[in-house]
Chains A and B, each alone.
Chain A
C-alpha cells in the first residue's frame, strides 16, 4: 500500500520567515495530495490540495509544489504569523473511486513572535 513520509516532525521559525514541510510518497499511482492544518483542540482542516497534473498551486501565503518524478511534494508558508502555529499533515490518494487518504505523521510548526 501507499506510504507517506513527512519531515520535519517539528519546525520552529521566527515570525515573518518562511516555513517548508516536505513529504514523499511511495505509490506512483497516487494523484491527489491534500494538506491539512490542525489547531489545538480541533480536527484537521483542509488548507490546500494539488493534483498530479499540476506542478504548483498557490493560495495567498500558502503554496504546494509537486514533483511526480521524485514522488515528493512540499508545503510552503511565506511571511509566517503566530496563527500559523499548528500541526500540519500531508496526505496522498489514488483518487478515481478510491479516495482513501494515507497521511504523513505530521509536523508541529511553531511561529515565534
Chain B
C-alpha cells in the first residue's frame, strides 16, 4: 500500500521556536507539496518541489522554508514559529506526469 507519512500527528511548539515537519513517501514520486489547511480557507500551497534539491514557492511561502535532500523526503521548516502558523499541515506527492496527489494524514501544529 503506497504511503505518504508525516512524522507527527500533533505538535505543540512555543512562539519563536524553529519547527521541522517531516514528510516521507515510498512511491518514488518526483513531486512533493506542502499545504496548510484552515477552516473556510481550504488548502493553500506553501511550497512544492519537482526534484531533489529543487523548490518552488507556492501561494503563502512567507515564514516557511523547505528542504529536499532526498527524493523521498520533503521537510517544511518554520524558522521562527508564530501563533498565526497554528494550523493543519498536509504533505502530498505525485508522479511528474501525474495525475492526482497522494496525501499524508496531516500534522496539527499548535503554536503557543
Contact = CB atoms under 8 A, between A and B. Distances in A.
Interface of A: 6, 9, 32, 34, 36, 41-46, 49, 89, 93, 95, 97, 99-101, 103-106
A93 B98 contact: yes
A43 B100 CA distance: 14
A32 B40 contact: no
A113 B92 CA distance: 33
27 contacts: A6-B42, A32-B98, A32-B99, A34-B101, A36-B103, A41-B106, A42-B106, A43-B4, A43-B92, A43-B104, A43-B106, A44-B90, A46-B100, A89-B42, A95-B98, A95-B99, A97-B96, A99-B31, A99-B94, A99-B95, A99-B96, A99-B99, A100-B45, A101-B101, A104-B42, A106-B42, A106-B43
Contact of A43 (B31, B41, B90, B97): B90
